[in-house]
Amino acid sequence: MTILLFAVISLFSCKKENPKTASLANYQGQENFTVIYGSNPVGYLKANTVGDTVSIDYDYKNNGRGPTIQEKIVLDKNGFPLQWDILASTTFGNIINEKYGFDGSVARWTDATGSGEEPLDAPKWYYNQSGSPYSLILLFRNIIQSPDYTLPILPGGTLKLTEMEKFTYPSDSISLTITTYALSGADTHPTYFATDENNRLFAYMSPTFVIVREGFEKEEKNLRELAENYSSQRFEKLQQDFAHKYDKNVRIINVRIFDPYTLSLSELSSVLIEGERIKAIEATDARSRDEIVIDGKGGTLMAGMYEMHAHTGDESAFLSLLAGITSFRDMGNDNEVLSGLIEKINSGQLAGPRIHRLGFIEGKSPFNANNGIIVSSEEEAVAAVETYHNKGFYGVKLYNSMNGDWAPAIVKRAHELDMFVCGHVPAFSNADAMLNAGFDEMTHINQTMLGWVLEPHEDTRTLLRLTALKRLPDLDLKSQKVQETLNLFVKNKVGIDPTLVIHEVLLLSRNGGPWSGATDFINHMPLNAQRKYKTALSKIESPEDDRSYRLAYVKIVETLKIMKSMGILIIPGTDMGGSFLYHRELELYQELGFTPAEIIKLATFDMARYMGDNDLGSIEVGKLADFFLVPENPLKDFKAIKKVALVSKGGTFYYPTEIYPAFDIKPFVEMPIISE
């Protein structure tokens, strides 16, 4: 393919010749960028440099939400920040007033997590928490002065810049040289961006999201493909380095196997894997010649789990696999990106779970999401169902801007094609209407509960679908309207995908303190990544808001407890990338009345049956070798499920302890003893 319509000059070069000084004298004036999500313009970024001061205005809205950020940065003569003021309204409405200052001897900062300071003999780069991507170019002009392209940063850590590719843009009126870079060290994943030959920002890019210089919007798709390729190359290398596909049978000894039929653990046993399947389950001292032997040291072996609300990406696929999640249900994606990912995972190029695809169908509106297929009529919506069927998707998911009146026709056609249907409640409708239309599953517990507290004219395509949760504390769960909805769930045998962990974060997280679900892993994460887990998502304007949100979470848990008691199937998923937060989703189910053994069965055996995966869900002879090992007993303390020693997906073995450092994550357990 032709990338950026440019001619490739070099790939993965390691040095930029004769970099210009970071002096702002070279970078005066206004720069304008377009924010594009899924090929649709959704906002802007504007940066204006006057003297030593950079003013930034950044705003975009996708799916009815997005950040609004104003920044003012004062730089010294070498381009280091002396003063940095950021006023941000985040994607879910949290207001952050971030400040940084350096007075010549002490650097001081305040972000959403709190305040800090550090004595300095010379300026140091401050890595902001809540600013716009424009600061990448300011940081870049400093880091390229370093011979090894590294830069120590505040509040801590070191950034590493890697040059990826260089391109020329042929044109009668423009001669432009573009260089792409990866910046790593601040989080578990690199940031990809592009500069021109004058060290001005050209683009920030990811596989789904692009910010590009005004006038070059036509390059958006190619920029996304670049980011996708860079990410794939990174994860293909990780797969080559860390996926263990042994040329002998593998025997795991000294393990207790979880049995979903009895909800108990076996005596110490050994499990023999031949190729991609389980060949035998025998006494723990059983041995044959010419085997790889892995000592489980009395740990617990469980079938691979199902993340039932995923939006698959390279990183979420790999990290989720390391967390013991060997199957995904993708709930909506860029269809081309997802197809490429699945192909690479199935071929062994990339690590990731097995993926069941739901086709995302959204209605066209000023608030629509920009994934899947966007439709403007009932006929187009029905045609989208047929398109997904022809492409092998097992079902479809409907979204917020869909016209609820179209749901019966969509469901009818989907069921005629033996396809599954689930989704959000479309704006200006309610859960009862979707249940009566024939939904097989409802997505997000708030989508159901909002129908009990909203007026018919209120628009859930906006952040109202979050802020209206403040009304839940006054809801009577014994009321007729609540009981009618719950009875429809039971009558129609419809499950609920509650994504409880995202509601915990939305309603209970507060600036400065760690998310409850992150306390068991936050200290293992890169220092700057830890800031994310100490920041609220929601806007809490008053003590009354604080109280209402906390009580809303209590009401959600009460509702789910009632649902469980009525026999409504709970579907475990996160909508937050899986991996560590999937463990928290399951952990929270103890609040609903599940025992640890019931939770493990739900996440493995029950979901395999729900998805029709007869070869998965339990550790039995003849089934696929999808399982994971933890050193302790999660039936006694469910937190034990969070410390994974090994994962097998179809007989390919992964050891998180040797892989996590590649993500700047500190391992949780020791490596198993492996004898060849």
Residue 242 dihedral angles phi and psi, to the nearest 5°:
-125, -10
What CA–CA distance (Å, rounded) separates 162 from 176?
21
Per-residue pLDDT tens for 267-312? 999 999 999 999 999 999 888 889 999 999 999 999 999 999 999 9
How many angstroms separate the Cα of 420 from the Cα of each of 16, 268, 430, 530?
52, 40, 20, 38
Kindly state the tokens that stand for 645.
Answer: 């020693």
pLDDT tier for residue 23 given thresholds of 50, 70 and 90: low
Tell which residue, 583, 445, 601, 468, has the closest CA to residue 516.
583
Strands 277-283 and 7-11: unpaired
Residue 433 dihedral angles phi and psi, to the nearest 5°:
-65, -40
Strands 291-303 and 627-630: antiparallel
What CA–CA distance (Å, rounded) separates 147 from 15?
8
Per-residue pLDDT tens for 149-199? 999 999 999 999 999 999 887 655 667 899 999 999 989 999 999 999 999
Q: Where are the chain's structural domains?
A: 7-240
pLDDT score at 286? 85
| 17 has a pLDDT exceeding 50 | no
Mean pLDDT computed over 253-266: 98
pLDDT score at 454? 96
| pLDDT: which is higher, 19 or 3 | 19
Q: Encode 446-474: b = buried (16+ Cβ within 10 Å), e = exposed.
A: bbbbbbbbbeeeeebbbeebbbbbbbbbe
Mean pLDDT computed over 575-587: 95
Peptide bond into 190 cis (omega under 30): no
What CA–CA distance (Å, rounded) separates 398 from 653?
36
Per-residue pLDDT tens for 468-519? 999 999 999 999 999 999 999 999 999 999 999 999 999 999 999 999 999 9
Residues 189, 235: contact at Cβ < 8 Å?
no
Instruction: Work out the number of other CB atoms within 10 angstroms of the CB of residue 29.
Output: 9
